[in-house]
Amino acid sequence: MNSKVNKKILRLSGVIALVFAGCALVVGLLEWIVWGIASDIDFIKAGERWSASGEPYAVISLYTEEGSALSAAQIEQYARSVDDGLASASVDTSGDGRVWTYAWSAEKVLNAKGPRTNKNAAVTVCGGDFFVFHPLKFIHGNGFLNDPSNPMGVVLDERLAWEIFGAVDVVGMEMSVGELPLVVVGIVSAERDSHAYEYTYGEIPRMYMSYNAYDKINGEAADITAYEVTLPNPVKGFAMNIFETAVSVNEDTTSLAESTERFSLTNRLANMKSLRYSFVRGDKIEYPYWENEARMTDHTCAVIMIFEVITASVGIAAFFLSFTLFFSSGFSFVTEAKRLVTRLTAVMAEKGAAKSNRLKPNQ
């Protein structure tokens, strides 16, 4: 090594470079953790599931207070308005396949009666393509169709099936809610590898009932508190503009969000900045369990983002400090390369001379 090189400074530069590498590794690990927990949020990927050829779609969710709940007629009117908006934006909606879809739901507690006993259950009353947005983990059977002429199929979670039937594989068996007879068409798992999901799903057993069936119990009423759509989004903001134009949104009583890029770096940075306000509720909306799961994950990712920013800041500082020390040490790759070439040339010359001497005849 050149005598002008300050070896102490060069070694210090190397140590600090290792700090930079360690920080980069930690940031990568934290990003992997965020990707893992965010991938558990199924409804934000409804656009990917709906898209036929991979074109970009946005997932938009609207939640209302009970006092501002929507009726099925309003939902259908919104759907027609969205169709009109897409047509005005030159999006063809006249083909055989639908270019967008939607679902609506409400959270209730009803008494479910089976042959074994009856049990109060959390009930997700739903309509539209609910199972596109929420692809539950079916153990037996499958979801019901959005068919007003045959609304009597229900989906139970395994806990409710066990409590009111004494068994889990009960697809095709009858139960009732109030005086309304229903047929079990599917059984879903109430568990998933996500703490946020387990917590927000709750301990009370759950069932999923079509909104048409609920109407037969309760009569037509404005009970819908969640409306979800997935729309084509060729450019950023296109889908939200269509939706806001088609739907009447009262900002005082509703919450509206595009969830497609919910866990993007930009959104996580914004959530990190507002983290101390995350537990402050400014509305009276009772969010469904999947939105509460997403909100808990928002909070977790914001906390992780704090550690990422701190680690990345240390890493960036370490990179520039190592870079500065490296050049101030006097070390030069060009000089060292030339020195190495000179040394290798000398060694090769010595070996050549020695070989030549061995080949000379003895005098």
Nearest to 43, CA basis, from 101, 130, 124? 130
pLDDT of 219 reads 72
pLDDT of 307 reads 95
Q: How many residues does the chain have?
A: 363
Measured between alpha carbons, how far is 298 from 269 in angstroms, rounded to an integer?
11
pLDDT of 363 reads 47
pTM listed for this prediction:
0.82
Q: Where are the alpha helices (DSSP H) in 170-264?
A: 195-201, 211-218, 238-246
CB atoms within 10 A of CB 165: 19
Among positive and negative, which fits the CA dihedral 159, 163, 169, 170?
negative
- Give the mean pLDDT per block of 10 residues along the chain (363 residues): 71 92 96 90 90 87 90 91 91 73 93 93 93 93 77 90 94 91 92 78 90 82 88 92 88 87 88 78 83 91 94 95 84 64 70 63 54
